[in-house]
A and B are shown apart, each in its own frame.
Chain A
Amino acid sequence: MFPEATRCLKASAPLFSKNVFLNASAHGGSSSLPLRRSLGVSHCLAAKVAPPKKPREKVEIPGLEVVTYGDRMHYVPGLAKPVYPSWERSYKDPRFYKSPPAQEMALYKDKPCYVFNQRTSVLEGVRQAAWLTKTSVMHGLPPHLVSLSATAENQLPNQDERVQDAIKHARFWDTTEPRPRKEKYSNTLLLNLLHLCATLQPTHPAVGRRILAENYSLAATWTRGEDLFQIRGQNGLLHCSMDPLPRVCEEKEVLETSDQVLESFYPVSPTIDLQQVNVYKEDVNCTGFRGDYPYPHAHTLYFLETPDPNFKLRPEQFRAKMIMFTFGNALARAHKLYGTQPQTLLERPVTVQAVGTNGRIFQFLVFQLNTTDLSGDDGLKNQVWLDEDVELYDFAKVRPLIKRKEVKVPAGLTGYKPETFSKFLALYLHGAV
Chain B
Amino acid sequence: MALSCLTQALRSLTLSQPALLSSQTVAQLKPGTLGPAAVGQWRGFLTTASVEQNRTLWKQRDKYTIKPIGMKKTGGRDHTGKVRTRGIGGGHKQKYRWVDFQRLRYEPNKEGHPFEEKVVEVRYDPCRSADIALLAGGNRKRWIIATENMQAGDIIKTSGVIGRMAVSANEGDAYPLGALPVGTLVNNLELQPGRGSECIRAAGTSGVLLRKVNGTAIVQLPSKQQVQVLESCMVTVGRVSNIDHNKRVIGKAGRNRWLGIRPSSGLWKRKGGWAGRKIKPLPPMKSYVNLPLISAS
Q: Which residues of A contact B (CB under 8 A)?
A: 2-4, 24, 26-30, 39-40, 44-45, 47, 49-50, 52-53, 56, 73-75, 77, 123, 265-269, 271-272, 276
Enumerate chain B residues within 8 angstroms of A40, measured Cβ to Cβ: 265, 267, 269
Quick check: A123 and B82 within 8 Å, CB to CB? Answer: no
Which among A24, A44, A74 is the interface contact of B27 at CB below 8 angstroms? A74
Quick check: B26 and A45 within 8 Å, CB to CB? Answer: no
Quote the shortest CB–CB distance from A405 to chain B (angstroms). 32
CB-nearest residue of chain A to B82: A44
**A39-B269 contact given A3-B47, A75-B26, A267-B137, CB 8 Å threshold:** yes
Whether B281 is near chain A, meaning CB under 8 Å from some CB there, is no
Which among A2, A53, A267 is the interface contact of B115 at CB below 8 angstroms? A267
Q: Which of B31-39, B125-133, B170-178, B212-220 contacts A (4 or more CB under 8 A)?
A: B31-39
Quick check: A123 and B141 within 8 Å, CB to CB? Answer: yes
Enumerate chain A residues within 8 angstroms of B256, measured Cβ to Cβ: none
Quote the shortest CB–CB distance from A51 to chain B (angstroms). 9
Enumerate chain B residues within 8 angstroms of A4, measured Cβ to Cβ: 6, 47-48
Whether B79 is near chain A, meaning CB under 8 Å from some CB there, is yes
Enumerate chain A residues within 8 angstroms of B6, measured Cβ to Cβ: 4
CB-nearest residue of chain A to B83: A45
Quick check: B23 and A268 within 8 Å, CB to CB? Answer: no
Q: Which residues of B contact A (CB under 8 A)?
A: 6, 23, 26-27, 31-32, 34, 37-38, 44, 46-48, 78-80, 82-84, 86, 115-118, 120, 136-141, 155, 265, 267, 269, 272-274
Quick check: A2 and B47 within 8 Å, CB to CB? Answer: yes
Quick check: A75 and B23 within 8 Å, CB to CB? Answer: yes
A53 to B82, CA, bound (A): 16
Enumerate chain A residues within 8 angstroms of B32, measured Cβ to Cβ: 53, 56
Quick check: A268 and B82 within 8 Å, CB to CB? Answer: no
Enumerate chain B residues within 8 angstroms of A50, measured Cβ to Cβ: 80
Quote the shortest CB–CB distance from A114 to chain B (angstroms). 9
Quote the shortest CB–CB distance from A374 to chain B (angstroms). 20
Q: A47-B82, A267-B117 are in contact. List 8 more A-B contacts (CB 8 A).
A: A3-B44, A27-B274, A28-B274, A30-B273, A74-B27, A266-B116, A268-B136, A268-B138
A193 to B78, CA, bound (A): 61
**A267-B118 contact given A27-B272, A77-B38, CB 8 Å threshold:** yes
Enumerate chain A residues within 8 angstroms of B117, measured Cβ to Cβ: 267
Enumerate chain B residues within 8 angstroms of A74, measured Cβ to Cβ: 23, 26-27
A222 to B166, CA, bound (A): 46
Enumerate chain A residues within 8 angstroms of B79, measured Cβ to Cβ: 52
Which among B23, B27, B80, B273 is the interface contact of A49 at CB below 8 angstroms? B80
A269 to B110, CA, bound (A): 13
Quote the shortest CB–CB distance from B22 to chain A (angstroms). 9
Enumerate chain B residues within 8 angstroms of A271, measured Cβ to Cβ: 139
**A49-B78 contact given A4-B47, A77-B38, A267-B115, CB 8 Å threshold:** yes
Enumerate chain A residues within 8 angstroms of B31, measured Cβ to Cβ: 75, 77
Q: Can you give 5 A-B contacts (C-beta < 8 A)?
A: A3-B44, A3-B46, A123-B136, A267-B137, A272-B140
**A26-B86 contact given A4-B47, A49-B78, CB 8 Å threshold:** yes
CB-nearest residue of chain B to A40: B267
Quick check: A75 and B138 within 8 Å, CB to CB? Answer: no
Quote the shortest CB–CB distance from A7 to chain B (angstroms). 9
Quick check: B48 and A123 within 8 Å, CB to CB? Answer: no
A271 to B138, CA, bound (A): 8
Quote the shortest CB–CB distance from A425 to chain B (angstroms). 39
Enumerate chain A residues within 8 angstroms of B269, measured Cβ to Cβ: 27, 39-40
Enumerate chain A residues within 8 angstroms of B139, measured Cβ to Cβ: 269, 271-272, 276
